[in-house]
Chains A and B, each alone.
Chain A
Amino acid sequence: MVNLEDLKKETKKILEEERVKYIIGYKRGSNGLMPVPAFIKNPEDVEKLIWDPACVYNLSRFLVDEKRRKAKEKKPDERAVGLIVKGCDSRALNVLLQEKFINRDDVYIIGVSCENTGIVDEKKLAKKLKGKKILKIEYSEKDNFVTTTEDGKTEISAQGILAERCLECRAGFPVIYDVFLGEKAKRKLDNPCKSLENIENLSGEERWAFWKEQFDKCIRCYACRSICPMCYCEECVVDTINYAVATDTTAEEKAQRIKWIEKSPVASENIVYHLVRAIHLAGRCIDCGECERVCPLDIPIRLLNKKLEKEARELFGYEAGLDPDQVSLISSFKDEDPDDFII
């Protein structure tokens, strides 16, 4: 078990030693169960840190902001940022390292294990507790969660309320870290892509009907893109709104923008947006599930990425986020890569 006091001690130490400029972790929010990201500069503030099964956010996303902020500073503080990461978050870090978006020296990684269970799905939990206001959720020794409501504490099985991604996670502990808290338990999963089965077993037209309904809902709020640690492009290729205009961007350059898709959230454009996003995440998505969690329309975006994750593993033996030194999926090949569909 991750001892919260140890977590505080570790973070306090590196802050006191001034090895990091600040630490990104989780703290209690003002609004009930779900924690919020904490940016801690002062050693005494580490007391605010928490670690519980509601700590869903993939905090590595903040490194993207940090990098941008730093680039604008005249005399940037060159010290690393301390980051608390779960297994999936650490894989995201590995991809960011692999893509040279961050340097290893820029981040001090405090890894925490997910206690052989994982992170709670807020919606599943609410359903389970039938609307009762949950004050707190904690890990327990026996793969269970302990919830606190107005009625007091109850221990419930984690299985029914875990986030989907955690049910399919093969390593609920970080693969890269400077310090590690908790235990490493490698899971054995019969089918790490179980969630895909329902869709894969449908006929083509049924699959289309399923996805059509999903994509029809999309309002193109781009929350999926904003939360994704891999969507760090200066300008999204499908975007015609947030075009990165630099000081030396000429009018001609602006006119050279390609309208791959229309802005309006109609089905065809939504589909192409999600297809582009999925293909650009192929071999990069580490299944933190944040895109799906933040989607206000409950589009199962994760299932798009998961599909390509599965194909990459099965066809090319490639897994994202395990090794920062590996060459990316689409910039490598093997002579014996399958090509049976090619005429």
Chain B
Amino acid sequence: MAEEFEPKIVAFLCKWCSSAGSDLAGVTRMEYPSNVVPITVMCSGSVSPLYIFSAFNKGADGVLVSGCHPGDCHYIKGNFYTRRRITMVKKLLEYIGLEPQRFQMSWVSAAEGTKYTQIIKDFVKELKPLGPQTKLRRNP
């Protein structure tokens, strides 16, 4: 039997909320699939569209951007800019025909270890039937 497809996911987590939330998931020993490799950035506002395109280009099957809930940004308002910018990226990717499930954004607070866990579980579950992402991937 062929091995089950394991999607590769890059998650850009803001340091103050989402990364702390994923730490909490760890502290409380929740369990989720190991497909996601996190990159902690200072603020979700620092996630450039280039990072997202580049992750897909370098072989990511899914990309997650996660920041503080609106109004809770450690940097006051960074996530509001994120929201606009990421909305445009999301629309563009879907428009050219990338499966919408492949690019997701979430608000995860430092207290939401459970939410983070659930997001990762759902993400992996949704990506599995899609198979590898080859549309933006270099030399597939």
Q: Are B89 and A209 in contact (CB under 8 A)?
A: no
Given A268-B57, A271-B136, A333-B77, check contact A276 B91 (CB 8 Å): no
Query: Which label, helix, strand, loop or mixed, suits the secondary structure of the B interface?
Result: helix
Q: Are B96 and A208 in contact (CB under 8 A)?
A: yes
Rounded to whole angstroms, the CA-CA distance of A199 and B119 in the bound complex is: 31
Most buried by B among A209, A342, A343: A342
> Does A39 count as interface, using CB distance less than 8 angstroms?
no
Number of interface residues of B (CB under 8 A): 39
Q: Are B138 and A311 in contact (CB under 8 A)?
A: no
Of the stretches B4-12, B21-29, B35-43, B79-87, the one at the interface is: B79-87
> Does A171 count as interface, using CB distance less than 8 angstroms?
no
Type the 1/0 row for B83-110, where 1 means its CB is closer than 8 Å to any CB of A.
1111111111111111110001111000
> Does A251 count as interface, using CB distance less than 8 angstroms?
no
> Does B49 count as interface, using CB distance less than 8 angstroms?
yes
> Does A36 count as interface, using CB distance less than 8 angstroms?
no
Query: Which label, helix, strand, loop or mixed, suits the secondary structure of the A interface?
Result: helix
Rounded to whole angstroms, the CA-CA distance of A122 and B96 in the bound complex is: 27
Q: Are A316 and B84 in contact (CB under 8 A)?
A: yes
Most buried by B among A210, A279, A311, A331: A279
Given A331-B81, A333-B80, A337-B84, check contact A272 B136 (CB 8 Å): yes
Rounded to whole angstroms, the CA-CA distance of A251 and B97 in the bound complex is: 40
Rounded to whole angstroms, the CA-CA distance of A328 and B106 in the bound complex is: 24
> Does A269 count as interface, using CB distance less than 8 angstroms?
yes
Q: B140 contacts which chain A residues (CB < 8 A)?
A: 268
Q: Are A307 and B91 in contact (CB under 8 A)?
A: yes
Type the 1/0 row for B104-127, where 1 means its CB is closer than 8 Å to any CB of A.
111100000000000100000000
> Does A322 count as interface, using CB distance less than 8 angstroms?
no
Q: Are B89 and A279 in contact (CB under 8 A)?
A: yes
Given A275-B96, A342-B105, check contact A335 B70 (CB 8 Å): yes
Q: Give, as a whole number of angstroms, the nearest-CB distance from B130 to chain A.
A: 11
Q: Give, as a whole number of angstroms, the nearest-CB distance from A20 to chain B.
A: 38
Q: A237 contacts which chain B residues (CB < 8 A)?
A: 50
Type the 1/0 row for A277-320, where 1 means its CB is closer than 8 Å to any CB of B.
01100100000000000000000000010011001100110000
Q: Are B84 and A333 in contact (CB under 8 A)?
A: yes
> Does B32 count as interface, using CB distance less than 8 angstroms?
no
Q: Are B136 and A268 in contact (CB under 8 A)?
A: yes
> Does A100 count as interface, using CB distance less than 8 angstroms?
no
Q: Are B80 and A307 in contact (CB under 8 A)?
A: no
Which B37-57 residues have a C-beta within 8 angstroms of A? 49-50, 53-54, 56-57
Q: Give, as a whole number of angstroms, the nearest-CB distance from B111 to chain A.
A: 16
Q: Can you name the residue of chain B whose Cβ is closest to the Cβ of A210?
A: B97
Question: Which residue of A271, A282, A304, A341 contacts B135 across the interface (Cβ within 8 Å)?
Answer: A271
Q: Are A308 and B49 in contact (CB under 8 A)?
A: no
Q: Are A339 and B138 in contact (CB under 8 A)?
A: no
> Does B74 count as interface, using CB distance less than 8 angstroms?
no
Q: Give, as a whole number of angstroms, the nearest-CB distance from A338 to chain B.
A: 7
Question: Which residue of B95, B119, B135 contacts A307 across the interface (Cβ within 8 Å)?
Answer: B95
Q: Are B91 and A342 in contact (CB under 8 A)?
A: no
Q: B104 contacts which chain A residues (CB < 8 A)?
A: 343
Q: Are B137 and A279 in contact (CB under 8 A)?
A: no
Rounded to whole angstroms, the CA-CA distance of A272 and B81 in the bound complex is: 22
Q: B84 contacts which chain A residues (CB < 8 A)?
A: 316, 329-330, 332-333, 337
Residues of A at the B interface (CB closer than 8 Å) are 199-200, 204-212, 237, 260-262, 266, 268-269, 271-272, 275-276, 278-279, 282, 304, 307-308, 311-312, 315-316, 329-333, 335, 337-339, 341-343
Excluding A272-B57, A337-B80, 17 further A-B contacts by CB distance (< 8 Å) are A207-B95, A208-B97, A208-B135, A261-B57, A268-B136, A268-B137, A268-B138, A269-B138, A271-B136, A276-B53, A308-B92, A316-B84, A329-B84, A333-B84, A337-B87, A342-B105, A342-B107
